[in-house]
Amino acid sequence: MFQPTVIFIVAVLALIIAYDLWAITRHGYRATISYTLLLSSQTRPIIAFAIGVVCGHLFWVNAP
C-alpha cells in the first residue's frame, strides 16, 4: 500500500504535467511553467538558486 505522501506527490506531479500540456496546446510554449521559470531565473538568478537548494534538500542521501 502506498503512503499518503507518495500519493500526494504523484497527484501534484500529474496536475503539473496536465497543466503544462493544456498550456502548450491552448497558448503555446511561452505559457508553460518551464518557460516562465526560465525567464524569471534570467532576470532573478536567486530563483534558480532556490530551486537548486530545494532539490538538493529533497534528494540528499544520508549514508550510514
Is residue 2's pLDDT more than 80? no
Q: Hey, how many other C-beta atoms are within 10 angstroms of the C-beta on 62? A: 4
As a whole number of Å, the CA-based R_g of the chain is 15
pLDDT for the residue numbered 63 = 54
Residue 64 has pLDDT above 80, yes or no: no
pLDDT of residue 59: 84
Question: What predicted TM-score, i.e. pTM, was given to this entire model?
Answer: 0.71
* C-alpha–C-alpha distance, residues 35 and 52, integer Å: 17
Find out whether 27 and 21 touch, Cβ atoms under 8 Å.
no
Condensed to tens digits (0 to 9), the pLDDT of residues 4-53 reads 989 999 999 999 999 999 999 999 999 999 899 999 999 999 999 999 99
